[in-house]
Amino acid sequence: MAQWWQPTATSYLGRIRKARILEAVTEGVSREAAENLAKLKKDALVAHAEERLADTGWLPPILRSPS
């Protein structure tokens, strides 16, 4: 699934809470990357998260296959 889907503002990031966006960046990139975004307003947060998560292969839990 990670080959075809990207976390974008339209597909996912714009529809979830700020805390979940920060969790996604933490999982997909690093805790430091998420901490740098924590004080942004949602629109800016979504834009930066989209950039940071691009091409990482990160998927939200609903799209992950069972381990």
| pLDDT, tens digit, 9 for 90 and up, residues 4-16 | 999 999 999 999 9
User: How high is the pLDDT of residue 35?
Assistant: 96
For residue 29, pLDDT over 90 is answered with yes
pTM: 0.92
Structural domain spans, the chain: 1-55
Residues 64, 47 contacting (CB under 8 angstroms) = no
Categorize the per-residue pLDDT at 2 as very low, low, confident or very high, splitting at 50, 70 and 90.
confident
Separation of alpha carbons 43 and 48, rounded Å: 9
SS3 call for 54: coil
Nearest to 51 by CA among 16, 6, 17: 6
Task: Please provide the average confidence, as pLDDT, over all residues in the chain.
Answer: 96
